[in-house]
Each structure stands twice: as C-alpha cells, then as structure tokens.
Amino acid sequence: MSPNPVRAPSLDISDSAAAPGDVATAAIHAHLPTGQAVVSFTARIRYDTTVVRYVAQDSSRTGSQGVVNATSGLVRVAGIAPAGFGEAEALASLRFAVLAPGAPSAFTLTIDELHTLFTSNAARIGAAHQP
C-alpha cells in the first residue's frame, strides 16, 4: 500500500440551497496527496432528472481539454491535462438547472479512471460521492 493513498474524489455543489430556477455548478475534485497531479480521468455523474437538468460544461480553464457526453440522468466526462491539473483545481465543472428542491442530494459521482504523473491508474474508486 502506498504511504500516500488517493483519497476519494468529491463532487462539490456550488449552492447547497439552490432553488428551482437557479443554476448550480457541480465540480469534481480529486484530493490527491501534495505533489501529485491528475493528468487524465474519466468519470460518470448520475443525477435525478426530476430535481436537476444538465445545462453545459464550464470550460474556463487553460492547459487542459475535456469531453462531455450527456444523456438524461447521466453525464460522462473525461479530461486530460499533460502538465497536470492543479492541486485545488476542479477536474471538471458542470452546470445544472435546478428544477426542484434537493439539488445537492440529486447526484452520484463515479470515478472510472484517475491517472497521475506517477501512476498508470491511481484507483478504481467507484461510487465516490453521494451527498
């Protein structure tokens, strides 16, 4: 076992009190030990379609590329950053329209692959976050 194991990633919602009509951002964070950086990942976010609706990917970051495949109730996302994502940087940020109360509990994150500068696959983490 590695002395610095990978902590479970999180899906952080921008507004825990988002009301119907608001737009909330769901950001995936890796939480790796200091000095490690994610260079690529694939993930799935399942969501309750009665509570939120996928709107778009936030793509304001430089030095990385991401791909999103969204269907009703499921968003698949993949990203790559050859120099690594910053330690505090979100791997991906997605915007959702809030349709009903309870947005923070409408999501389940699964990380399928997480590659760092030092490992070929840091973890098959599985269901990492369900608020």
Q: What is the pLDDT along the chain (131 residues), one digit of tens a residue?
A: 445 555 678 999 999 899 999 999 999 998 887 778 899 999 999 999 999 999 999 876 666 888 999 999 999 999 999 888 877 789 999 999 999 998 889 999 999 998 887 776 665 544 444 44
Q: Could you tell me the residue ranges of all domains in the chain? A: 10-123
Which class is 10-123 in CATH?
mainly beta
User: Quick check: helix, strand or coil at residue 105?
Assistant: helix
Measured CA to CA in angstroms, residue 5 lies from 36, 53, 76, 129 at distances of: 11, 34, 25, 17
Helix (H, G, I), strand (E, B) or coil at 104: helix
CA pair distance 71, 54, nearest whole angstrom = 9
pTM listed for this prediction: 0.83
Rounded to 5°, angle at Cα 45 from 42 and 47 = 170
